[in-house]
Amino acid sequence: MKTPVSIDGPTKEIELTEDDFVSDGHAARSVAAIQAALKTMPSTPGVYRMINDRDQVLYVGKAKNLKKRVTSYTHILRLPLRIARMVAQTARMEIITTHTEAEALLLESNMIKKLKPRYNILLRDDKSFPYILITEDHTYPRIVKHRGARTKEGSCFGPFASAWAVNNTINHLQRAFLLRSCTDAVFANRSRPCLLYQIKRCSAPCVDRISKPDYDGLVDICRDFLSGRSQVILKQLESDMLAASEQMDFEKAAMFRDRIRALSQIQSHQDINLDGLEEADVIALHQEGGQSCVQVFFFRSGSNYGNRAYFPRHEQTAEIAEILSAFVGQFYANKPAPRLVLLSHEVEGHKLVEEALTLNNDRKIELQVPKRGGKRKLVEHALTNAKDALGRRMAESASQRKLLDGLADVLDLDGPPSRIEVYDNSHIQGTNMVGGMIVAGPEGFIKNAYRKFNIKGDIAPGDDYAMMREVLTRRFARARKEDPDRENGTWPDLCLIDGGLGQLGVAQEVLEELGIEDVALVGVAKGVDRNAGREVIHIPGKAPLRLGEKDPVLYFIQRLRDEAHRWAIGAHRARRSKQIGKSQLDDVPGIGGARKKALLHHFGSARGVADAGLKDLEAVDGINASLARKIYDHFHGDG
């Protein structure tokens, strides 16, 4: 018979028969190894690992009765072909016993996430989720995005589904409460307000534009809003606005009005919402063409904190209930679960999964598969998003997606970047200095988004650091003003800087000064002897990285850098050509094309015109005495 198989590569149909397993010496040895392990295997709950002869873990499973469960693998002809293939590769088994089946399920999920066995359903792209952190280790608390272990003092709110979701919320909170986001080092060294103060996103406590009690009041209100008291806060602000209006203090009333508008925007940006749903996750799975997409929506403090798509790896024949059960177990293995999890389908071992989540979180966790009402509408919305995301993924170029996935892994990004910006500068001995920016995404280079920057500042010839500072400052200051809420898709997920630690340090300083903390920065320095293939990758806060010379991700980075280099050089050459073609006569008022041609024809060059006397200029056809005087004065002054 034929069976479709898709483990790590494209799906293929291969011919397998039962006789293959009977006659295969490996299969017989594998069954013998399992039977040997059964002699000492207990009939208790636990987790088992099936390992091949290269010490690679093939599969991790849990069981209420280890001996009974593992015994089923010795009857190889009764097994599905996928499981039979796995058994045929097994050289030995290892077990860990647990007190209960729920503990076994938790241990199984953790081990699958750590070991990534080939025959398990695997959850990919499981980066930690971002939170909003209001710090408490400074006189003036700051509001920032936080990810990872909670080592900093302060109040955390979240999780948010993506960096975009948390950044969007922080932007509106800054507009409403004017809390600072700069680092303590920047705060301590400010002598005048920054750009965020000018665009009304910060109250500038660094230069005493607000008193300490007033700032603390804003911090308290912001905490209350994020803690779920949004309606109470909005009603209080409306009351304050009306009171200020009645007292004819219209400036203060306008301030309250702007805060109400900003907070309302946070809630109006929610795609879906449900009254009374304070804390829940909505998990929906759509399956098509042997692939699956799981969409997770996060609700906290009565607000929708966004959604994230996952594409678990599994066999084409895997059932939805099996995939969803594996997903839920692995998803909450290293993160807290909300009190309520809404599912699109029933999962295998529904009660067992609930018991395991409750055990792991030290509080009651409930799984529901709603059939009607508002909760079902939330699930249907998540299902629609899952279907759309899977369709987009299947339509993407597989090779480009693989490169973006690899880039995310190498650079430790939250996920594959959808917009990459690469920066390079070009000049010749400090003349005609130009900065270039190219853009790439899942569909390749986005050439209509390319930009060039003619360096305008008072910069010493050849000062590459100052050039990079001007380019990045102009780029992101403009983005701050034109698209502060990041709704137009013009903000990058990743910026590649052509240069080493010096250039990268300048880029970090620029973004820090502008209060931007969520754009990943990476420097790509030329290797030893400037040879391709020896590039050194600098990631802030990490040791320099050098990829293998034949690594596809390195080739991808080289392509991006070379395209930026080509674009910057082209912009520089165009500017230089324009400069070369410019004549001294272009700046003389009253000299058009015909008169310039007549002057050049008469004197042979612009220098000849500049050196000519007044009478000589008057002798040229089309040049009267008044115009001759203007030309003469232009080159010789008024005397």
Q: Which range (61-75, 299-313, 390-404) has the least confidence? A: 390-404
Query: Are 427 and 539 in a shared domain?
Result: yes
Most confident of the ranges 76-85, 499-508, 520-529: 499-508
Q: Report the alpha-carbon distance of residue 356 to residue 366 in Å, rounded.
A: 11
Q: What is the CATH number of the domain that holds 544?
A: 3.30.420.340
Confirm whether 229 is domain-assigned: no
- In three-state secondary structure terms, 416 is coil
Confidence of residue 622 (pLDDT cuts 50, 70, 90): confident
- 504/608 same-domain check: no
Q: Which residue has the tokens 């088992």?
A: 48
Q: How confident is the model at residue 443 (pLDDT cuts 50, 70, 90)?
A: confident
Q: Which tops the pLDDT comparison, 197 or 427?
A: 197
Q: Return the pLDDT at 530.
A: 54
Residues whose CB falls within 8 Å of the CB of residue 522, separated by 6 or more in sequence, listed in order: 411, 494, 495, 496, 497, 504, 537, 538, 539
555 has pLDDT over 70: yes
Into how many domains does the chain fold?
4
Residue 329 and residue 351 in contact, taking contact as beta carbons nearer than 8 Å: no
How would you label 489-519 residue by residue, b for 16+ Cβ within 10 Å and e otherwise?
A: eebbbbbbbbbeeebbbbbbebbebbbbebb
Which of 563, 579, 595 is the C-terminal boundary of a domain?
579
CA 300 → CA 103, 110, 131, 319, 337, distances in Å? 28, 25, 11, 30, 11
Task: Give the alpha-carbon dihedral of 218, 221, 227, 233, to 10 degrees.
Answer: -140
pLDDT of residue 6: 36
Q: Are residues 598 and 471 in the same domain?
A: no
Residue 48 belongs to a domain: yes
Q: What is the mean pLDDT of residues 273-295?
A: 84
Whether 14 shows a pLDDT value over 50: the answer reads no
Q: Give the distance from CA 233 to its chain's centroid.
A: 31
Please check the confidence at residue 393 and state whether its pLDDT lies above 80. no
For residue 580, is pLDDT > 80? no
What is the structure's pLDDT at 4? Answer: 38
Residue-level pLDDT at 486: 76
Residue 2, pLDDT score: 39
- Please, which pLDDT band fits residue 215 given cuts at 50, 70 and 90? very high
Percent of residues, the chain, with pLDDT higher than 70: 87
270 phi, psi to nearest 5 deg: -70, 130
240/487: higher pLDDT: 240
Does residue 314 share a domain with residue 425? no
How far apart CA 137 and CA 135 sit, in angstroms, is: 6
Tell me the C-alpha distance between 184 and 206, whole Å.
10
Residues 517 and 415 grouped into a single domain: yes
| In a shared domain, residues 24 and 105 | yes
Residue 385 lies in a domain: yes
Q: What's the average model confidence in pLDDT over 376-404? A: 84
Establish if 214 belongs to a structural domain.
no
User: Does residue 18 surpass a pLDDT of 60?
Assistant: no
Same domain, 414 and 380: no
Predicted confidence at residue 473, as pLDDT, reads 92
- Burial (CB < 10 A; 0-12, 13-18, 19+), residue 443, is exposed
133 neighbors 144 (Cβ within 8 angstroms): yes
Boundary-marking domain end, from 538, 554, 579:
579
Looking up residue 608, the CATH number of its domain turns out to be 1.10.150.20
Per-residue pLDDT averaged across 234-262, rounded? 83
Give the lowest-confidence range in 86-90, 220-224, 281-285, 580-584.
580-584
Whether 481 is in a domain gets the answer yes
Q: Poorest-confidence range of 47-61, 141-155, 265-279?
A: 265-279
The residue-averaged pLDDT of 80-94 equals 89
Residues 571, 594: one domain? no
| Predicted confidence (pLDDT) at residue 23 exceeds the cutoff of 50 | no
Do 285 and 356 have their domain in common?
yes
Mean pLDDT of the chain: 83
Q: What is the CATH number of the domain that holds 349?
A: 3.30.420.10
Task: Report residue 275's pLDDT band, with 50, 70 and 90 as the boundaries.
Answer: low
Tokens of 159: 């999780």
Question: Is position 448 within any domain?
Answer: yes
Q: Residue 231: pLDDT above 50? A: yes
Say which residues have a Cβ less than 8 Å from residue 19's Cβ, sequence separation at least 6.
Answer: none
Per-residue pLDDT for 582 more than 70? Answer: no
**463, 556: one domain:** yes
Asked if residue 430 has pLDDT above 60, the reply is: no
Q: Please tell me the predicted confidence (pLDDT) of residue 72.
A: 92
Say what the pLDDT of residue 612 is. Answer: 82
The secondary element (H helix, E strand) that includes residue 508 is helix 501-513
Q: What's the one-letter identity of residue 322? A: E
**Lowest mean pLDDT: which of 40-44, 453-457, 587-591, 617-621?**
587-591
Does residue 182 fall inside a structural domain? no
Same domain? 601 vs 537: no
Q: Are strands 2-5 and 12-15 parallel, antiparallel or unpaired?
A: antiparallel
| Cα angle 513, 519, 521; round to 5 | 90
Nearby residues of 54 by Cβ (< 8 Å), 6 or more positions away: none
> Which residue has 């309250």 as its token pair?
256
Q: What CATH code is carried by the domain that includes residue 10?
A: 3.40.1440.10
Q: Give every CB contact of residue 403 below 8 A, 6+ residues apart in sequence.
A: 552, 553, 556
Strands 131-135, 12-15: pairing is unpaired
CB within 8 Å of 92: residues ≥ 6 apart: 33, 37, 51
Residues 327 and 451 in one domain: no
Boundary residue ending a domain (353, 370, 395): 395
User: What are the E-state strand segments in 102-220?
Assistant: 131-135, 143-146, 154-157
Range of the domain at 78: 2-115
User: What's the half-sphere exposure (Cβ side, CA atoms, 13 Å) at 151?
Assistant: 3
Looking at residue 577, its pLDDT comes to: 61
- Say whether pLDDT at 25 is over 50: yes
Look at the block and give the residue holding tokens 């279907």. Answer: 387
Do the domain assignments include residue 423? yes
How confident is the model at residue 96, as a pLDDT? 93
Task: Count other C-beta atoms under 10 Å from residue 594's C-beta.
Answer: 10
- Range list of H helices, 116-153: none
